[in-house]
Amino acid sequence: MVKIGILGLGTVGTGTVQILRDPVGRHHLLQSIEIQRVGVKSIDKPRAVDLPSELVTTDLDSIVSDPDIDIIVELMGGIEPARSLMLKAIAHGKHIVTANKAVIAKFGDEIFTAANQAGVYVMLEAAVGGGIPVIQPLKQSLGVNRIQRITGIINGTTNYILTRMTVEGGEFADILADAQKLGYAEADPTADVDGLDAGDKIAILASLAFGGRIKRDDVYCEGIRKISATDIAYADKLNFVIKLLAIAERVESGGVSVRVHPTFVPKDRPLATVNGVYNAILVEGEPLGQVMLFGPGAGAGATASAVVSDILAIVGVMQTNSSHEDAVNSPNTSLHPLLSCSHSHYSEMAPLSSLRSSFYVRFLCIDVPGVIGKLGTCFGEHHVSIESIVQTGFQGDRAEIVVVTHEVSEGDFESALAEIRGLDSIASIPSIVRVL
C-alpha cells in the first residue's frame, strides 16, 4: 500500500477523501492507496466524510514527518503554513500533490529546487483548470510540440460574472454582489476579479510550456472591474464577447509574454463559447495546430478528480520496475522525466511594450466637432493605425467615442494615450480593452 497524508479537509479535501474511499469502478490502482493521516485546523468541525477520529489531527507537522507516509496531499490553500509544510515534507523525502496555485506561482522555484534535490515529485494538476487535464498533457503529449501560445479562460468567478453581464446586460458591481450571495465569488473577490488568480495559473502553465521558470511579478495582471455594461454591449454589436484571458506566448522579437487581461474575443472562436464557471485552455503548437481542453474549472468533485489523478501518477511510477534503464544512457536520471519539472533557469520575459495588440478604447469627450480629428492626429503621430472611430452617442452631456485600432505596438499605443489624456476635449477614458 501507498500511504498518504492529507493537509486540509475542506471542499477539495473532502472530495478527495470521497474518491479514495469509494474506489470501485475507478482505476484499480486506487485500491493500493491508504489514507494515513488527515490534518485540519478545527478538530471539532462537523465533516461531510466520516473518518476514524484517530486519523484526524491538528498537528500537521507530525503528518509531514511521519515515516510511514509516502505522499503529502496539500489542500489547505494560502501561502503559510502550506509552503513550510511542503518544504518540510520534501525534506522528509515525501512526494507532494497540491492544488495550491498561489504557493506554486510564488514559491515554485524554492519548492521545485528542494524537490529535485530530494528526488521527489511535486504534482499540481488541480492547481489549474480544476478537473481539466492540462498540466499532465503539457508535460507529456503536448510537450513534443514547440508551444507557441497558451490562451486560457482559467478563472471561473470572472467568467461567471462576464457571462452574466453578457446575458443579462447588468453592471459589474451588481452581478459581483449577487455572485457573492450565490457562492460564486468570495467575500474578498480581489484575487479573482483583479486577475491575480488567473495570473498565478498562467505563470504555472507558461513555465511548463516554455521550459523555464517565470517570476510571478513579471506577469501583467489586469482584472475586470472596469468592464461596464456599455462595453459588453459594444462588443456584442461588433460581434465580440469580452473574456478575461490569460495568455502565455513566445514573442517574435524574443522572450515570452505572460499576461492576464480582459479581451474582445470574436464570437466564432472556440473560446468565445466557454461560459459560466467553465474553464478552457487553448494550446497552440508546432506541428500540432490548436487543441482546446474544456471543462469544470472548480468544484469539489472536479478538483478532487485532478488531485487523485496526481496521486495515481506517483503510485504508477512507484509500481513500475523499469527493466530497461541499461538501454538508456542516463545513469543520473531516477525521477520520471515526464512527471518531474527539471528546469531551473528563468524564461526571458518580453516587456508588454514590445507586444503588438489591437485595442478598443472608449472616450467621453467635451468638444465633439474637433475631437475626432484630434484623436486621429494623436494616434497617427504615434504610429497607431486606426480601424474605426465612431461617435456612438451621449452619456449625459459627454459625447461617447469608440476607437478600434489595428494591431499596433503596445508602446506606441501607450504614448499616444498619454498625450490624449492631456487633451482638454477628453473628459475621461472609461475603458481600454485589448482585441484578440
Residues that bind ligand NAP (CB under 6 A): 8-13, 39-42, 45, 60, 75-77, 81, 99-100, 126, 130, 298-299, 303
Residue of 30, 5, 6 lying closest to 316 (CA atoms): 30
- Binding segment for a second copy (CB under 8 A), chosen from 197-205, 231-239, 321-329, 425-433, is 321-329
119: left (phi over 0), alpha (psi -120 to 50) or beta: left
Quick one: which of 117, 334, 344, 428 contacts a second copy (CB under 8 A)?
334
Is 201 one of the catalytic residues?
yes
List beta partners, residue 34.
Answer: 3
Please, what is the minimum distance in Å from the beta carbon of residue 47 to ligand NAP? 8
Measured CA to CA, the distance from residue 162 to residue 225 in angstroms comes to: 10
Residues 12 to 31 in contact with a second copy, rule: CB under 8 A? 15, 18-19, 25-30
Quick one: which of 273, 344, 353, 385 contacts a second copy (CB under 8 A)?
273
Binder of residue 53, out of ligand NAP, a second copy, none (CB less than 5 to 8 A by kind) = none
Contacts of 42 (CB under 8 A, 6+ apart): 58
CB nearer to a second copy: give 239 or 385.
Answer: 239
316 is in an annotated binding site: no
Collapsing DSSP states into helix, strand and coil, what is residue 331?
A: coil
Measured CA to CA, the distance from residue 144 to residue 162 in angstroms comes to: 35
**One of 94, 106, 201, 243 is an active-site residue; which one?**
201
- Binding segment for a second copy (CB under 8 A), chosen from 56-64, 82-90, 110-118, 324-332, is 324-332
CB nearer to a second copy: give 143 or 411.
Answer: 143
10 is in an annotated binding site: yes
**3-state helix/strand/coil string of 198-221:** HHHHHHHHHHHHHCCECCHHHCEE
Binder of residue 45, out of ligand NAP, a second copy, none (CB less than 5 to 8 A by kind) = ligand NAP
Residue 44 has phi, psi (to 5 degrees) of -95, -5
Quick one: which of 36, 136, 159, 347 contacts a second copy (CB under 8 A)?
136
Q: How many CB atoms lie within 10 A of CB 60?
A: 25
Contacts of 120 (CB under 8 A, 6+ apart): 90, 93, 94, 95, 96, 335
Binding-site residue set for NADPH:
101
Catalytic residue IDs = 201
